[in-house]
Chains A and B, each alone.
Chain A
Amino acid sequence: MTPDTLLTVSGFSVTYDVDPPVEAVRDVSLELRRGEILGLAGESGCGKTTLAYGIQRLLKPPAVITGGRTVFHDESGQDVDINALDADALRAFRWDKVSMVFQGAMNALNPVVAIGRQLEDVFTTHRPAMGRAERREECARLLDIVGVGRERLRSYPHELSGGMRQRVMIAMAMALRPQLMIMDEPTTALDVLVQRGILRQISELREELGFSVIFITHDLPLLLEISDRIAVMKDGRIVEIDSAERIYRDPQHEYTRRLLASFPSLTGERGDFVRGAEKEAAR
């Protein structure tokens, strides 16, 4: 571990205790650096979401953490063993240190409450000492930062486009200046143009505020562009973890190569995608 390590996950395993039990995450170890964007790639069912939920103990039964530790190295120098936190400490820890943008998060907003009020909730819960005026100003500022604009504070979710709602969720996740934001397919439901805008914003905010991001998606080309490092998961294990450039130029694992080959290049050669190719068809 180096001083700029933010999170150490070691030997982490999660099992869904159903019949027969499903080992969704198997013996995963990784270190996340401060200010780093780590991409977590893999197909549905590979365990990437379970891992992301697991490290902040967001899983519900039948999921059981069967082994491993997650240690969060706070800015203050204090180490927090997330698995050992009691309920109150865990509640205080979440969102304050680690926040999350969920898959399809724009649909997670309460449809009958103005977004300003929903943002304020974060502060009333986690910063009870904060005065009302300050709270309002903070929410307005957050909406400005993510490009929605403070004039939308009184808007209801249905009055905003999908992209704007997703930005509101990002604003909410940033509210307490967490050191780590976990984003689970944050742009998958959005158009490419909107997606590009949001990705640019995440990168800029990261530069400015210095938080780390774990970015989960199956869209490997996208990850290659925005991540510093990428972990490729398959069947609950990380099969390869390396810098985005190395994953792109010199993938070591056969599965990484296959995943890369699944995306035909936009402007390059056809690669494995040959019209009429038979070899993949049998799958």
Chain B
Amino acid sequence: MTTLEFTNVSKRYKVRGAGDMLALDDVSFTLTSGQTIALVGQSGSGKSTIAKILTQLERASSGEVLLDGEPIPHRGPGLRRYRQRVRMVFQDPFASLNPYHTIRHHLERPLRLDKVVPKDQVEDEVRALLERVRLDPDATIDRRPHELSGGQRQRVAIARALASRPELLIADEPVSMLDVSIRLGVLNLLADLQRESDLGVLYITHDLATARHFSDEIMVLHHGVVVERGAADSVILDPQHEYTRALRDASPDPDKHFAAGAASTARS
């Protein structure tokens, strides 16, 4: 059981001429294996800052991030090991894969660098990874990213994240760049993988509907402050904080729209 604790973390960015900008204000949460937490909020709310601190692309100004009770190492082999256990899936599969390299190369690299399997098993492992993300190894392994569709590319990016056998996955808007009809496929895949390997997933999104269906818990971030958290259904169906309510009411919801329309027609 892996536990990642984010304890009283604040992050200030220096803004030239405007003093400090408080991007995160005393944020705490715990992510454990087997659990999916959705992090929702508008752009500028601090979602990506949390992801950056979790991957140590940024350091917290105050507060602590602990993995199984140990602070995250800032450099060296310790940081490398940490990044092996906590992996990131990025938003844009068009930008996160290298256009010059084949899919084989993308998946071999983490396997070799992190010495996940002995050298003579690398090829088999690459194929197994592709199968895990429901891609046909023979049809994809020698391709380059531009030869694949957006959804296939994001599957490759997920396979790459899984290569090091991480315990936790940070997925920052993993489907918002994809075509709508393949989004659910990729989300369902993430949900499956999560169950199979007992992964902990932090699902960062601005889409309340998928946050509700894809996660156990939702945290709502507003100006760097967690204004509400709770079981996914109750946060969306019965929001307590005014900001959560505003977000929910602003999201398109045809079910409610037409239900209300039907009611008003019935009245008239």
- Which A residues have a C-beta under 8 Å from some C-beta of B? 43-44, 191-193, 195-196, 218-222, 224-225, 245, 248-249, 258-259, 261-268, 270, 272-278, 280-283
Q: Give chain B residues whose Cβ lies under 8 Å from the Cβ of A195.
A: 250
Contact present for A283 and B151 (CB under 8 Å): yes
Q: Give chain B residues whose Cβ lies under 8 Å from the Cβ of A263.
A: 180, 209
Provide the bound-state CA to CA distance between A282 and B133, in Å: 9
Known: A275-B214, A280-B185. A220 touches B255 (CB 8 A): no
Q: List 11 A-B contacts (CB under 8 A).
A: A219-B180, A263-B180, A264-B212, A264-B213, A265-B253, A273-B187, A275-B188, A280-B188, A281-B188, A281-B192, A283-B151
Contact present for A224 and B252 (CB under 8 Å): yes
Contact present for B134 and A281 (CB under 8 Å): yes
Contact present for B180 and A191 (CB under 8 Å): no
Contact present for A266 and B236 (CB under 8 Å): yes
**Which DSSP category, helix, strand, loop or mixed, fits chain B's interface?**
helix
From B179, B206, B209, A266 is in contact (CB under 8 Å) with B209
Q: Give chain A residues whose Cβ lies under 8 Å from the Cβ of B185.
A: 280-283
Closest to B187 in A: A273
How far is the CB of A54 from the nearest CB of chain B, in Å? 22
From A219, A245, A276, A281, B252 is in contact (CB under 8 Å) with A219
How far is the CB of A172 from the nearest CB of chain B, in Å? 24
Known: A275-B213, A276-B195. A192 touches B42 (CB 8 A): yes
Q: List which B75-119 residues lie within 8 A (CB) of chain A.
A: none
Contact present for A225 and B192 (CB under 8 Å): no
Contact present for B134 and A282 (CB under 8 Å): yes
Interface range for B: 35 or more
How far is the CB of A194 from the nearest CB of chain B, in Å? 8
Contact present for A266 and B253 (CB under 8 Å): yes
How far is the CB of A277 from the nearest CB of chain B, in Å? 5
Provide the bound-state CA to CA distance between A277 and B214, in Å: 12
Provide the bound-state CA to CA distance between A44 and B210, in Å: 20
From A225, A261, A277, A281, B257 is in contact (CB under 8 Å) with A225
Contact present for A222 and B252 (CB under 8 Å): yes
Closest to B133 in A: A281
Q: Does B121 contact A (CB under 8 A)?
A: no
**Which DSSP category, helix, strand, loop or mixed, fits chain A's interface?**
loop
**Count, A-B residue pairs, CB within 8 A:** 111
Contact present for B188 and A267 (CB under 8 Å): no
Contact present for B184 and A275 (CB under 8 Å): no
Q: Give chain B residues whose Cβ lies under 8 Å from the Cβ of A280.
A: 184-185, 188
Q: Give chain A residues whose Cβ lies under 8 Å from the Cβ of B179.
A: 43-44, 218
Closest to B189 in A: A281
How far is the CB of B24 from the nearest CB of chain A, in Å? 19
Contact present for B255 and A267 (CB under 8 Å): yes
Known: A191-B206, A245-B258. A283 touches B252 (CB 8 A): no
Q: Does B66 contact A (CB under 8 A)?
A: no
Known: A264-B210, A264-B213, A281-B192. 7 other contacts (CB 8 A): A193-B42, A248-B254, A264-B184, A264-B209, A273-B184, A275-B214, A276-B195
Q: Does B71 contact A (CB under 8 A)?
A: no
Provide the bound-state CA to CA distance between A277 and B187, in Å: 10
Q: Does B51 contact A (CB under 8 A)?
A: no
Q: Give chain B residues whose Cβ lies under 8 Å from the Cβ of A281.
A: 134, 185, 188-189, 192
Known: A193-B42, A196-B250. A248 touches B184 (CB 8 A): no
Contact present for B253 and A221 (CB under 8 Å): yes
Provide the bound-state CA to CA distance between A196 and B251, in Å: 8
Provide the bound-state CA to CA distance between A282 and B254, in Å: 28
How far is the CB of B240 from the nearest CB of chain A, in Å? 16
How far is the CB of B152 from the nearest CB of chain A, in Å? 9
Q: Give chain B residues whose Cβ lies under 8 Å from the Cβ of A245.
A: 258, 261
Known: A218-B180, A262-B181, A280-B184. A224 touches B206 (CB 8 A): no
Contact present for B206 and A276 (CB under 8 Å): no
From A192, A193, A220, A273, B188 is in contact (CB under 8 Å) with A273
From B42, B191, B236, B258, A191 is in contact (CB under 8 Å) with B42
Provide the bound-state CA to CA distance between A275 and B250, in Å: 25
Provide the bound-state CA to CA distance between A266 and B205, in Å: 14
